[in-house]
C-alpha cells in the first residue's frame, strides 16, 4: 500500500472523540495551528486510537489509553510501517500523538512517559536545492513566454516574482487578495501559525504585479483572490507547478526546480549577497533559525564568516 493510507479499525469512542476535538480547538486557539495541520493531526489521532482499540482488545474508552506501554507504541509504529507509511510520515504521526498525550496528561494529571519517550524513526531530510542566480532569472523571463494570452503570461510572471523577489510561499502568494493593489513598497503577509510579517517588495516585483492587475480581465476587488484562473476562480497551485514544469523542461533544469525552489533561491541569493541570517529568517517567516539555515544551503565556512563579521567579540 503506497505510503499507507492504512485503516481505522474502530472509530474513537464518544469520550475519545470529544477529547480529540478539545485538543484540536486548543491547537487552533492557543498554538495558532493552520487548518491543514489540524486536519492532518485529527486524522493521525483517529487512526492511532483505532489501532489501539483493536490492539488492546476491542472498542474501549479512555482509561486503557492512559495505561499505554512502550510495547503498545512500538506495535502501532510497526503496523504503520507494515502498511507502507514512510519514516518521514510516521515521524509526523508520532509527533501528533505525542503532542496530544502531552496536552492530555498535563490536563488530567497522569503519567504519559511511555508515549512521550518513544523515539521518532530516523529519515533522510530532503534539503532544498536553490537555483543558480542565472537560472532563477531565466525562469522568470520564460514565464512571460508560456501563454499567448498577455494577462496569463503576466500573471505567471508576477507569481514567480513574488516567490523569488519576496521569498513568499506559494500558499502565501496565491492567498493574496485585491486589497494589496496597487502593490507598494512593503507587503504584510500572514504566514504559518497565523503569524504576520512585513516584507519589502522590489520595484520589479511591484511592476510585475501591477502590470498583471492592469491586464487581468476579472475584477480584482477587495477581499477577492488576486491571482485568477482562466475562468476567474482562484489560481490553483497545480497550475503554477504545471507552468514551472514546462519552463524547467525548456531550460534543462532538474526536477528540483519547483515553484518552492524560487523561495529557497531568494534566501540563498540574499545571503550570498551579504544578507544577515537573522534578517532572512524574519523575511521568510521562520520560527527557527535552523530552518532558515537549511533553506539557504549555508556551508560551515560561510557560517563562520558571518560569525566572524557579526559577533562583537570575534
Please give the positions annotated as active site. Answer: 169, 192, 260, 263, 286, 295
Q: DSSP 3-state assignment of 172?
A: helix
Sign, CA torsion 94/99/102/104: negative
Question: Which letter, b or e, does each residue of 53-86 get, where b requires 16 or more Cβ atoms within 10 Å of its Cβ?
Answer: bebeeeebeeeebeebeeebbeebbebbeeeebe
Q: DSSP 3-state assignment of 169?
A: coil
Q: How far apart are CA 180 and CA 306, in angstroms?
A: 35
Sign, CA torsion 144/145/150/152: negative
Q: How far apart are CA 314 and CA 136, in angstroms?
A: 35
Q: How far apart are CA 43 and CA 47, in angstroms?
A: 6
How many Cβ atoms sit within 10 Å of the Cβ of residue 229?
A: 14
Sign, CA torsion 161/163/166/171: positive
| Helical segments of the chain, H only | 14-29, 35-55, 63-66, 70-82, 87-108, 113-116, 133-143, 150-166, 170-174, 203-215, 237-251, 259-272, 277-284, 289-295, 300-310
Q: How far apart are CA 226 and CA 178, in angstroms?
A: 5
* β-bridge partners, 200: 186
Amino acid at each position: 500500500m503506497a505510503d499507507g493510507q492504512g485503516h481505522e479499525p474502530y472509530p474513537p469512542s464518544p469520550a475519545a472523540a470529544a477529547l480529540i476535538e478539545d485538543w484540536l480547538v486548543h491547537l487552533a486557539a492557543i498554538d495558532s495551528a493552520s487548518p491543514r495541520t489540524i486536519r492532518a493531526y485529527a486524522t493521525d489521532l483517529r487512526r492511532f486510537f483505532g489501532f489501539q482499540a483493536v490492539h488492546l482488545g476491542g472498542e474501549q474508552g479512555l482509561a486503557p489509553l492512559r495505561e499505554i506501554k512502550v510495547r503498545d507504541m512500538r506495535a502501532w509504529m510497526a503496523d504503520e510501517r507494515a502498511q507502507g507509511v514512510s519514516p518521514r510520515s510516521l515521524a509526523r504521526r508520532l509527533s501528533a500523538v505525542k503532542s496530544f498525550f502531552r496536552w492530555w496528561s498535563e490536563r488530567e494529571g497522569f503519567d504519559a512517559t511511555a508515549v512521550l519517550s518513544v523515539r521518532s524513526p530516523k529519515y533522510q531530510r530532503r534539503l532544498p536545492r536553490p537555483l543558480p542566480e542565472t537560472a532563477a532569472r531565466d525562469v522568470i523571463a520564460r514565464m512571460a513566454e508560456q501563454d499567448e494570452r498577455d494577462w496569463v503570461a503576466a500573471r505567471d510572471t508576477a507569481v514567480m516574482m513574488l516567490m523569488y523577489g519576496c521569498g513568499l510561499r506559494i500558499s502565501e502568494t496565491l492567498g493574496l487578495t485585491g486589497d494589496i493593489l496597487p502593490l507598494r513598497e512593503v507587503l504584510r503577509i500572514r504566514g504559518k501559525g497565523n503569524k504576520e510579517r512585513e516584507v519589502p517588495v522590489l520595484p520589479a516585483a511591484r511592476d510585475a504585479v501591477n502590470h498583471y492587475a492592469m491586464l487581468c480581465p476579472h475584477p480584482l476587488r477587495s477581499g477577492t483572490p488576486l491571482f485568477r484562473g482562466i475562468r476567474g476562480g482562484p489560481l490553483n497551485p497545480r497550475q503554477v507547478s504545471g507552468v514551472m514544469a514546462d519552463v524547467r523542461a525548456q531550460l534543462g533544469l532538474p526536477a528540483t526546480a519547483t515553484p518552492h525552489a524560487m523561495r529557497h533561491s531568494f534566501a540563498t541569493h540574499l545571503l550570498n549577497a551579504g544578507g544577515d541570517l537573522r534578517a532572512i529568517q524574519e523575511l521568510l517567516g521562520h520560527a527557527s533559525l535552523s530552518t532558515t539555515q537549511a533553506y539557504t544551503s549555508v556551508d560551515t565556512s560561510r557560517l563562520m564568516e558571518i560569525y566572524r563579521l557579526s559577533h562583537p567579540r570575534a
